[in-house]
A and B are shown apart, each in its own frame.
Chain A
């Protein structure tokens, strides 16, 4: 598991796996001591990462239906914007959002540098 510190932003870029391992219009789960992270892939092969915890009642967003840049929580159908982690109006709330990068078919998530937790 490679860990690349980013001196400009204080983020560690952590490799999580191949892009192809994430189903298109779907997600996979990354386990982390601070909690699960859901990694999404849409039809355009854009990748997003959110805390796998719906702001409503904590549902696993990784299991939701993905459309363009939204995911619908499987528990009560709240819509969440993948770019920001915010609930779609008129619902209110948000879940943590992490930057991502795809390098040569490998997905990286940017987590706060060692010493902090997301």
Chain B
């Protein structure tokens, strides 16, 4: 028995991508035949615009060349339109009589451009803008000296066609039914800005105009409107929309509405037949953007390969576009209306317009950005997470960057940067490298760019710039459609789902978690192993066992690994206060182990750098003897509590900030958290301990203590939000414990308090910590309960263990 047969009807982006994904999963499972009506290999249809206006050649937009089909054993039949499918005999027939049997059939017939049934629509000179044939016809018209071009339809496609023809020297008028260009993506003011900008380039517009007839005898000569006025036209481009191509699907008796109806597995009503791409209709929607189609391709391939666990649940789309060089972003439902509120920012002179539509719950419902789209992804994230934005409403439209990002994040015009400009500072990736990777390796998404170039894969602050580069390189369209963010590649579950399962089903080992939740990889990966380990010990303190092999090296070795494989050792110095005896002990240790560098840290303690792994347990034993415990400078844990001197010494001090800081550190040290946690206590509002960029900062005032939360220093500086004001140090301690516990129980692993609070909204924290007193006390109690198991010096533990295991020593030393 040979291979099974897969026939694909349609040689476009969605169908071929499905085949690519299938070949990754099960390369030997099928004999694959692809029918393509066009006489071409698979090309990037979105890049037809740059071909029209001369920026790219047809060869440059090919995605899969003839060699690819041959190398993968795919039979490509181009120029053959499939006219009939016999579902009982499982056989496909083309117009020329070619017959191919199938075990599985994939419909990827795409869309047809809608042709308005006007008199004169069949005259030579009337084209659509869908494929190479159309582009050739348009180029021919421009080349042969035709003067007037009329584009019917002022949507994205129409404007791209108009721009291309203008660049080729024609006199172009765009006709649009409504008074707003691109009304599916833009609101009226943004549409007006776009129109003005395009008019300045030389395009002409007839808005609110309805075409009545196309004039001409043997060829197009003009266009007449409903009001009887006429304009001359040698070329008419119809760009009024696309309709899913369901002719074949209907012929074979499949259930169709606007498109071929498919389930979450991309199957039609005939389980042997799948449909993807523009021809498919999923949960009522036929998508026309690339990203959802590629998501469908992945899920469909999963099922064709027989794996059977992929599920497509639809895409929430945001579109970042470059229309004729202008940046646009739109997401959600921005139509406004009853029950919604709007916030608008405009600066027409700079060509900037931003609008956010909020619903009654203060969540972003829709957004339109014109000219300055750097914050598009951020608004989209807030929209998807349904974040209550009331606390950041004032500054919301100024973007995330206003908070202070050392000039690295937020907007900037990536398109205007030279190829040599460094985009990613962490990994040293310049613009040219990214553009090259996108074009040569056919990358379409941010994740792909990260994997192939490393840009934006470390700290993430250049993400906005990378997305802009994607938009401009991909020729106009870049859609981000992360519908739900799964924890890692081992699963489709989200962080919240995994945490809930651990809680609800009392799972206490990672093995149980991976088995219960049907992990794809038995041992997980470097992302989920530490995450699950954290969730287990945070949910079931004392019950779940900590697995050192699932910790990153720093937390396993309880020291920070350096670039040469040596380590840094930082003993804990409470509240930044030390004494001569401690300093002498540290100096002695530095001498005894010949430590290369001794450095004072930002966290107000001392760092011994360059320590060999085998020396660690011995150094720790000496430090323990001098009374030190681990500073946890390496962990997703409580790091430090910085202080300034306060009332004890300072003439401005309002409270004893130093003692308070030391007490807080003694209460919280040893706790494991989703990400590193830094506290500080300042003795007065001058804030010398920089408490307002800490995860939790206390600012002492005359009447008591201000509690601030959610601050982060570092690449993306975020100042704290004021949580509340309390009167006594005991209250400070209770609120601190409660806040830390809320963060531990709710945030995702590797989410610092700042993005956590931005995601859940400050109100959530206020309700849990400030307003709900019994809840706060319960949280604080849970924190203390977990500390019973966590507040143990890991150095002392490892020193004791090392006596038996010698795990820090090499296994052997060979001659």
Contact = CB atoms under 8 A, between A and B. Distances in A.
B592 interface: no
A67 B525 contact: yes
Given A43-B523, A68-B521, A68-B523, A31 B814 contact: yes
B811 A22 contact: yes
A77 B552 CA distance: 10
Interface in A1-18: 1, 14-17
A77 B427 CA distance: 13
Contacts of B810: 28-31, 36
A67 B561 contact: no
Contacts of A63: 553, 556-557, 561, 565
B508 to A, nearest CB: 18
A28 B523 contact: no
Contacts of A74: 552-553, 561
Contacts of A59: 565
B557 A30 contact: no
Interface string A86-117: 00001000000000000000000000000000
B812 A90 contact: no
Given A57-B563, A66-B523, A21 B552 contact: no
Interface in A63-80: 63-68, 72, 74-75, 77, 79
Nearest to B525: A67
Given A33-B814, A63-B557, A26 B549 contact: yes
A30 B561 contact: no
Nearest to A69: B523
B522 A90 contact: no
B750 to A, nearest CB: 13
A25 interface: yes
Contacts of A72: 525-526
Contacts of A90: 451-452
Interface size class of B (residues with CB under 8 A): 20 to 34
Contacts of A23: 548-549, 807
Contacts of A58: 564
B814 A67 contact: no
B815 to A, nearest CB: 7
Nearest to B441: A90
B549 A28 contact: no
Contact of B814 (A14, A21, A28, A43): A14
B811 A16 contact: yes
Interface residues of A, number: 37
Contacts of A60: 561, 565
Contacts of A77: 526
B814 A1 contact: yes
B614 to A, nearest CB: 9
B550 interface: yes
B561 A25 contact: no
B523 A25 contact: yes
A72 B815 CA distance: 29
Given A23-B549, A65-B549, A75 B812 contact: no
B529 interface: yes
A22 to B, nearest CB: 7
B521 to A, nearest CB: 6
Nearest to A30: B812
B524 interface: yes
A24 to B, nearest CB: 7
Interface in B48-91: none
Nearest to A15: B812
Nearest to B554: A74
Interface string B538-572: 00000000001110110011000101110000000
Contacts of B561: 60, 63, 74-75
A24 B549 contact: yes
A85 to B, nearest CB: 18
B813 interface: yes
A26 to B, nearest CB: 5
Interface in B801-815: 805-807, 810-815
A36 B810 CA distance: 9
Interface string B503-524: 0000000000000000001111
B811 A21 contact: yes
A39 interface: yes
A32 B815 CA distance: 6
Interface string B757-790: 0000000000000000000000000000000000
Contact of A28 (B563, B564, B807, B815): B807
Contacts of B564: 58
Contacts of A66: 523, 549
A59 B563 CA distance: 7
B410 to A, nearest CB: 26
Interface string B104-146: 0000000000000000000000000000000000000000000
A68 B812 contact: no
A35 B629 CA distance: 34
Given A43-B522, A66-B523, A16 B552 contact: no
Contact of B813 (A22, A31, A67): A31
A67 B529 contact: yes
Contacts of B814: 1, 14, 16, 30-33
A72 B561 CA distance: 15
A41 B269 CA distance: 49
A69 to B, nearest CB: 9
A65 B552 contact: yes
A26 B807 CA distance: 11
Contacts of A39: 811
Interface string B735-753: 0000000000000000000
Given A24-B549, A67-B529, A75-B561, A30 B811 contact: yes
Contacts of A43: 522-523
Nearest to A16: B812
A107 to B, nearest CB: 8
Nearest to A77: B526
A39 B810 CA distance: 10
Contacts of B806: 21
A26 B550 CA distance: 9
Contacts of B524: 67
A110 to B, nearest CB: 13
A72 B548 CA distance: 15
B523 A17 contact: no
A1 B805 CA distance: 20
B526 A68 contact: no
A28 to B, nearest CB: 4
A103 B241 CA distance: 71
B811 A67 contact: no
Q: Which one of A22, A72, A74 has the highest number of Cβ atoms from chain B below 10 Å of its Cβ?
A: A74
Nearest to A37: B814
B520 to A, nearest CB: 11
A14 B549 CA distance: 26
B523 A67 contact: yes
Nearest to A28: B811
Contacts of B813: 30-31
B526 A65 contact: yes
A70 B452 CA distance: 19
A61 B522 CA distance: 21
Nearest to B549: A25
Contacts of A65: 526, 529-530, 549-550, 552
Given A23-B807, A39-B811, A68-B523, A75 B552 contact: no
14 contacts: A1-B815, A16-B812, A21-B805, A28-B807, A28-B811, A31-B810, A32-B814, A63-B553, A63-B565, A64-B553, A65-B526, A66-B523, A77-B526, A90-B451
Which 6 pairs across A and B sit closest by C-beta, in order of nearness?
A28-B811, A72-B526, A67-B523, A74-B553, A63-B553, A31-B813
Given A30-B814, A65-B530, 10 more contacts: A24-B549, A25-B523, A29-B811, A30-B813, A43-B523, A58-B564, A65-B526, A67-B525, A74-B561, A75-B563
